[in-house]
Chain A
Amino acid sequence: EAQVTQNPRYLITVTGKKLTVTCSQNMNHEYMSWYRQDPGLGLRQIYYSMNVEVTDKGDVPEGYKVSRKEKRNFPLILESPSPNQTSLYFCASRAGLAGADTQYFGPGTRLTVL
C-alpha cells in the first residue's frame, strides 16, 4: 500500500529535550516536505527536500532541522524544543516538482512541548 508514515503519532516532551520525528514514504517520491498546522493559520511549510541530500527552508524553519540521506526518509529534528513548537506536524511527499502532482500526507504527529 502506497503511504507516508510518521512516528511518533503523539509526543509530550519538555523544553530543551531533543527529539526526532521520523517520516518515510514507499512511493519513490522525490519531493518531501514538513508542515506544521496551527488553528487559524493553515499548513505552513517548515522544510522541503527535492531529492537526496537536497534540502531547503520553507516558511517557518526556525528551531527545526532536517536531513535526507535516503530517498524514502525525511526526519524532522527539534534540537531544543520550545512551547511555541507545540503543534500538529505533517510530513508529505509527491512524485516530482510539478505543482500539479498530488501530494500525499502522513497521518500527523501531535507534539506538545511543556
Chain B
Amino acid sequence: RKEVEQDPGPFNVPEGATVAFNCTYSNSASQSFFWYRQDCRKEPKLLMSVYSSGNEDGRFTAQLNRASQYISLLIRDSKLSDSATYLCVVNMGPNDYKLSFGAGTTVTVRA
C-alpha cells in the first residue's frame, strides 16, 4: 500500500464551481499534513498546511480526518488560474522528518 494515495483525476470543472478531493495516508502516527500546488512540471509550492481543526485560506479549505486517515481540499468559486496538480504531502511520524508525497490530483478549470 502506498504511503499517500490520491485520486489522480482529472477533475474538469467550469469557472465558479466548487471542487473537492481527498488524499489518504497509511501511517496513523503522521503528524503534519500539507497541500502543495504544482503547475505543469514546475516546482511544487506550498498551498497550505492542514490543521486538526480544519483551516481556510481564501477560497481554499483543508480538512483532516484522523480517524479515517484522510485529508481533503475544497476549492470554492474556481478560477482558471486554479488549474494545476495538487499534491498531498504527509510527514510520516513524530520522530521522522521525511515527507511523503502523493502522485497528485489534476484540476482543470474551464471557461
Contacts and interface: CB of A to CB of B under 8 A. Distances in A.
Given A42-B4, A88-B41, A103 B99 contact: yes
> Number of contact residues on B: which range applies?
20 to 34
Contacts of B43: 90, 105-108
Contacts of B104: 42
A40 B101 CA distance: 11
Nearest to B31: A99
Nearest to A97: B97
A67 interface: no
Contacts of B44: 43, 90, 105
A93 B42 CA distance: 16
Interface string B73-109: 0000000000000010101100011110111100000
Given A88-B41, A98-B97, A100-B31, A40 B8 contact: yes
7 contacts: A35-B101, A42-B103, A43-B101, A99-B91, A99-B99, A105-B45, A108-B43
